[in-house]
Amino acid sequence: MTATPTTAVMKATLQAYVDRINAGDAAGVTALFAPGAVIEDPIGSAPRSGDDIAQWFADTVAFATRITPVVPHRGSHGDEALVVFDVEFTPPGGERLRIRSADACRFDAEGRIVSLRAYWGPDDLGPA
């Protein structure tokens, strides 16, 4: 049984994740993740970890990504919390896109993200 962070800590980390991406702060976003963290975005795709996470957020920022939370963050009675959002971004050479998504995260005792799994499917993606 490991210690769990409070819901306030988890929600603050989720909000920092949103704010740092919107600020273009790739290093700041990456710093929210624990060593060994795994990102599965979207659920059903190949998980990313290690150096791939820094590259993932470098790309995210380069794509002019803007995240808009659409409801208050949800906590839990464990070590998990959820941010629900619409996200817009412009992939290289493409038009601006919008995804209706939600990131389900698990946290360590220090409030760092150890797992991020994104709920969005093919029909949640469209023009911005």
Judged by the rule CB under 8 A, the positions of this chain that interact with a copy of itself are 4, 7-8, 42-45, 70-72, 74-82, 84, 100-102, 104, 118-124
Give the dihedral of Cα atoms 95, 121, 11, 54; nearest 10 deg: -60
CB of 89 to a copy of itself, least distance (A): 17
Q: Which is nearer to a copy of itself, 16 or 84 (CB)?
A: 84
Q: Is residue 41 flagged as an active site residue?
A: yes
Give me the catalytic one of 19, 25, 41, 124. Answer: 41
Q: Is residue 119 flagged as an active site residue?
A: no
**CA–CA separation, 53 vs 38, rounded Å?**
8
Q: Which is nearer to a copy of itself, 30 or 98 (CB)?
A: 98
CB of 56 to a copy of itself, least distance (A): 16
103 is in an annotated binding site: yes
Q: Which is nearer to a copy of itself, 35 or 122 (CB)?
A: 122
Length of the chain: 128
Per the CB < 8 A criterion, the answer to whether 87 and 65 are in contact is yes
CB atoms within 10 A of CB 94: 9
CB atoms within 10 A of CB 11: 19
Q: Using the CB atoms, write b or e for 95-119: b if 16+ within 10 Å.
A: eeebbbbbbbbbbbeebbbbbbbbe
CB of 14 to a copy of itself, least distance (A): 11
- Extract the annotated binding site: 103
- Extract the annotated binding site for substrate: 103
**Residues identified as active-site:** 17, 41
